[in-house]
Amino acid sequence: MQAAFPALAAILALLVYVGTAVNVSRMRVRHNVRAPSVNGPAEFERAFRVHQNTQEQLVLFIPALWLFTLLVSALWGGLIGLVWVAARIFYVYSYLRDPDSRAPGFAVAFACSLVLLLGALAGALVNLR
């Protein structure tokens, strides 16, 4: 049951990703940006970048979350994972509203990923003994 908490964080993170994908599709229709083009009005391009950046961040976050959960703590992995989700949601809304305001959400989410990754590394090293 302990893995349910980080699993919830992972599921919510993936739902954030799905939400950004749906938003890109909505913007394609709204602004008549036909695939495979990724150029269009600024509103579309912001939605596209948010989606791409979320995908890029998931590549680090998901494995780091599970490695931390297995090697350190499911409770803390879940908590840090939920902070990551909240920070990404803040990033999404900030970037879509004003790209210059995206930094705090990005920084907090990235810091969460680094804590998970470095914590997992420490857990792995401790478990080598």
Contact at 8 Å (CB) between 68 and 77? yes
Contact at 8 Å (CB) between 17 and 54? yes
Does 1 score more than 70 pLDDT? Answer: no
Rounded to two decimals, what is the model's pTM? 0.94
Give the Cα separation of 52 and 89 in Å (integer): 14
Does 119 score more than 90 pLDDT? Answer: yes
Q: Which domains, ranges and CATH numbers included, belong to the chain?
A: 4-127 (1.20.120.550)
Amino acid letter, residue 65: L
- Span 3-61, pLDDT tens digits: 899 999 999 999 999 999 999 999 999 999 998 888 999 999 999 999 999 999 999 99
Q: How confident is the model at residue 129 (pLDDT cuts 50, 70, 90)?
A: confident
Give the Cα separation of 13 and 81 in Å (integer): 8
